[in-house]
Chains A and B, each alone.
Chain A
Amino acid sequence: MRPTLLGLYATLIYVFLHLPLVVLAIFSFNSSKLTHWQGASLIWYQTALTDPALLEATANSLIIATFSTILATIIGTLAAYALWKQKARWITASLSVSLVTPEIVTAISLLALFQIIFRTLSLQLGMHTVVLAHLSFCLVYVVMVILARLRTMDNTFEEAAQDLGATPFEAFWHITLPMLKPGIIAAALLAFTTSLDDYVITSLVAGVDSETLPMIIYGMARRGVNPAVNAISTIIVVGLGVLIVISQRLEQRT
C-alpha cells in the first residue's frame, strides 16, 4: 500500500463523514426557501428561534434530559462501583442485553409496561414516562463509562484508607469518588446528549403534552422543505459537538 493512495482514500472517507453536515450548516444560512443559494441570511434562525412549538419542545427536551441524566448518573455510578468491587452476573448480563436491544424493541416493551400500569392507576403518558424510558437507556451508558474508568484505577488508595480506619463508605466518598469525577462528568454528558437526541423511544412513550425537539424535527423532515430544520439541526450539531469535545477532554485527563 503506497501512503499517498491511502492518504487520498482517507481524505475521501473524511469528506464523506463530514460533508453532509457541513453542507446542511451552510444552507441553514441561505436566504431562499429553495435549495438554490441566494445569499447569506439569518432568517431561518429567526424563524426557528421564534417558533413557539419549537421552543416548548426544546424546553421539554432539556427538562427530560436533565432529570434522566441526574438519575442515571447517580444510580449508574453507585452500580458501577458495586460491580467493580464484585461482579453480579445477572445485572451485567441484563445491562449488556439492554445495550444491544434495538431501540424500537425497548420502545414497545416500555409502551406495553406503561399501558398495563395505567390500566390500574389513572395516569397518562407524559414527561414522567419519557424520563423513565430515558433513564433505562442512559443508565447502561453511565455504568459502561464509569466501569471502564474504574478498571484503570488503582484500588490501593481505598485499601490504605480502610487500613487507616475509614469505613467502606468513607473510603468511597473521600477517595474513589473524587478520583472518578472526570469519568462521572463524561458519563453524564454522554447520557445528556443521548437523551436529547432520542427519537424512536421518546415518540412511543411521549404524551400529547411532552413533544420533544427530535419529534418536531422528525415531523418537519417528513413534511418536506423547511430550511428552519437546517437551522435547528446546525444549532444541535454545534451544541452537541461542544459538549462532546468537553467530555473527551475530561476523559483524557488523569
Chain B
Amino acid sequence: MTWTDEELVARSRGGDVESFNQLILRWERPIYALAYRVIGREDDARDVCQEAFLRAFRALPGFKGQAKFSSWLYRITLNLCRDWIRRHRRAPVSQLPEGADPVELAAERGAVESIEDLAARRELSAAVEEAMGLLPDEQRTTIILKEYHGMTFQEIADLQGCPLSTVKTRLYQGLTVLRRQLERNGQIQGAVVKRV
C-alpha cells in the first residue's frame, strides 16, 4: 500500500520511524537535487540533504500540517542552503567530482546517446550550470523551484516570503540573464522566432 505524505507524517509523529524513512526515500532525490543546484557542490549538497531530513525528523512534533510536507522540507533545505552560501560567502560553483571523467559521467547517464550527443549535452549542461551560478541567489532559487521542482508561483512566493509578482519578476529577469549568457556561450542563437 502506498501512503500519502500526510499519512506518513501522521504515522511518523505517532512514533513510526519506518514511515519517516519512507518519506526520506521518497524525497531524498529531489531534496538533494535542489541542494546541488542551489549550492553547486556534490558533497555539500549531500550533507545539506542529510541535515534537512535530520532537522525535519527532529521538528516533526511541531509540524502541524499547515503546509505540504514537501513545501516544509523545501523550506528547511533552502534555509540550510542559504546558511551554506552565507558561510562560504560566495556564489555556488560548478564542480566536477575529483578525478571524474566527463565522458564516463555522461556514459553512466544513458547508453543510447551517441558520443557526439553526450558531449553536446555535457557542454550544454555545464554552460547552464555556469550561467545559473552567475544569477543572484533569489533569481536562481526561483528558477530552480519553478523549473526543476514544478512549484506554483504561489508556493514559491510562500516559500520565499515575497509577493507573487516578485516571483514572476525574478523568474523573468533570471531567464533573461540566462538567455543572454547562453547566447554568449553559443548555446542559444538569437532571434529564434524569425526562424520558427
Co-assembled chains A and B: no
Task: List chain A positions with a Cβ less than 8 A from chain B.
Answer: none
